[in-house]
Amino acid sequence: MTAPRTFRIAAIPADGVGKEVVAAGRAVLDALAEDSAGAFAFEWEEFPWGCEYYERTGKMMDEDGLDQLKDFDAIYFGAVGWPTVPDHISLWGLRLKICQSFDQWANIRPVHFLPGVTSPLRKADDTELDWVVVRENSEGEYAGLGGRNLSGRGQGGEVAVQTALFTEVGCERIMRFAFDLARTRTRRKVSSVTKSNAQQYGMVLWDDVFKRVSADYPDVETESVLVDAMSAKFVLRPEDLSVVVASNLNADILSDLGSALAGSLGLAASANLNPERRFPSMFEPVHGSAPDIAGQGLANPIGAVGSAALMLDHLGLPAQAARLHRAIEATTAAGILTRDLGGTATTDDVTKALIDGLNA
Ligand code: ATP
Ligand code: MG
């Protein structure tokens, strides 16, 4: 028998429901490994960072935290944020610090409709609806450029400027990533999203780069759509989408819309990738710490388990990722749904069903 491939995973549950859904995801992944006849195993290390850690120590993570993380095969993250800690401290002190330091410039957020889940869309039970938002995760509107209290401008009162940064290199790499992803999908199509009719510098550069890069992918269908029109398209013609590539802010908003259309924020998975693999990539549900339901066993673990599937893909275990997807579909199809989906199942009930569904 060959030695099992052991993947070292750093778990950072952080705050609120993050703790519940990371525990659920770990249980499902451990069950999967146990069932692999020794083919692979996970070796976990859990880090206690987050808002409680901040309240004890004045830091969201250890000073040398990035050093502690840098040799793991992947990071499995819960959610960060708590009402007692300002967002700019909690978010920048942990999650965004990891994203930026590990150059996780590609963020992917699949939108996938599940059997047995009703959604605001008429096509709710059409499980064929399936697209991916590719989010530029390193620059754009979230570059952190600008300032407040700029004197000598405006008509009195404080003035603030928030600048979006677009670089040719940044645009090109996220677009090539999107095109390469499109080539792995049944529908080879990339939709590029901007607001270049109103934002005439950065977004026009984005459009120019998109045109140039698309020439290298003649086998992939393309379209350029303004973000307002794309919001309508998500609702009215989602069957026309496959890969949607957008800047940091636009993709952030569109992917939340996508997950709401699929039925709940609790279903949405994401991956923050360092495609060059110089640093570990990070896998996390799209939702936040949900203080309103934290600690009550009500959190939907499917977003976290879907993120675990993206992690398996990244680790070179696509067949195992597919097993997780089948387990998720078997669970929702059987009507085992948490409260956000109109059901009465607890986090543990769903986790148990997912484990039972691994052989579905
Ligand atoms: P963030 O600022 O971190 O994005 P947020 O303020 O957008 O967080 P969330 O914490 O994601 O908000 O919660 C938004 C709503 O979605 C809340 O009503 C919450 O209860 C619900 N929600 C979030 N995650 C889940 C989940 N896993 N299961 C069920 N409901 C959830
Ligand atoms: Mg949010």
State residue 154's pLDDT score. 57
- Nearest alpha carbon, ligand 1 atom 25: 266
Q: Which is it for strands 5-14 and 74-79: parallel, antiparallel or unpaired? A: parallel
Q: How many helices (H) and strands (E) does the chain have?
A: 12, 12
Residue type at 289? S
Q: ipTM for the complex?
A: 0.95
The answer to whether 54 and 23 are in contact (CB under 8 A) is no
Q: Measured from the CB, is residue 340 less than 6 Å from ligand 1?
A: yes
Structure-token pair, residue 243: 């890969």
For the sheet with 40-46, list strands across it: 40-46, 5-14, 74-79, 281-285, 269-273, 106-112, 130-136, 243-246, 189-194, 221-226
Q: Which atom of ligand 1 is nearest to the CA of 287?
A: 11
What is the helix (H) or strand (E) element at residue 97, kind and residue range? helix 96-101
Contact between residue 144 and residue 155 where contact means Cβ atoms under 8 Å apart? no
Atom of ligand 1 nearest to the CA of 80: 3
Domains 1-117+263-360 and 130-261 share a fold: yes
Q: What is the pLDDT of residue 360?
A: 74
**To test the ligand 1 pocket, which listed residue (82, 287, 307) has its Cβ within 8 A of the most ligand atoms?**
287
Q: Tell me, what's the pLDDT at 158?
A: 83
pTM: 0.94
Is the CB of 18 inside a 6 Å radius of any atom of ligand 1? no
Q: Is the CB of 94 under 6 A from ligand 1?
A: no
Contact status, residue 108 vs residue 181, Cβ threshold 8 Å: yes
Query: Which ligand number lies closest to the CA of residue 256?
Result: 2
β-pairing, 281-285 with 74-79?
Answer: parallel
Which ligand ends up closest to the CA of 265? 1
Token duo for residue 248: 């940091």
260 alpha carbon, closest ligand: 1
Strands 281-285, 269-273: pairing kind: antiparallel
- Domain definitions of the chain by residue range: 1-117+263-360, 130-261
Q: What is the pLDDT along the chain (360 residues), one digit of tens a residue?
A: 456 699 999 999 999 999 999 999 999 999 999 998 888 999 999 999 999 999 999 999 999 999 999 999 999 999 999 999 999 899 989 999 999 999 999 999 999 999 999 888 765 455 678 999 999 999 999 888 999 887 665 567 888 899 999 999 999 999 999 999 999 999 999 999 999 989 999 999 999 999 999 999 999 999 999 999 999 999 999 999 999 999 999 999 999 999 999 999 999 999 999 999 999 999 999 999 999 999 999 999 999 999 999 999 999 999 999 999 999 999 999 999 999 999 999 999 999 999 999 987
The alpha carbon of 288 and the centre of ligand 2 are apart by a number of angstroms equal to 6
Which pLDDT belongs to residue 1? 47
Angle, helices 302-314 vs 318-333, to 10°: value is: 160
CB of 299 shorter than 6 A to ligand 1 = yes
Q: What is the CATH number of domain 130-261?
A: 3.40.718.10
Strands 161-165 and 189-194, sheet pairing: unpaired
pLDDT at residue 359, as a whole number? 85
- Tokens (6 digits) for 197: 């009719």
Distance CA 309, CA 325 (A): 7
Q: 306 CB less than 6 Å from ligand 1?
A: no
Distance CA 287, CA 15 (A): 12
What does the pLDDT read at residue 118? 85
Q: Measuring CA to CA, which residue among 259, 234, 246 is closest to residue 110?
A: 259
**Distance in Å, CA 176 to ligand 1 centroid:** 32
State the amino acid at position 188 in one-letter form. Answer: R
Domain 1-117+263-360: what homologous superfamily? Answer: Isopropylmalate Dehydrogenase (3.40.718.10)
121 vs 234: CA distance, rounded Å? 10
Q: Measure the CA–CA gap between 201 and 199, rounded to whole angstroms.
A: 6
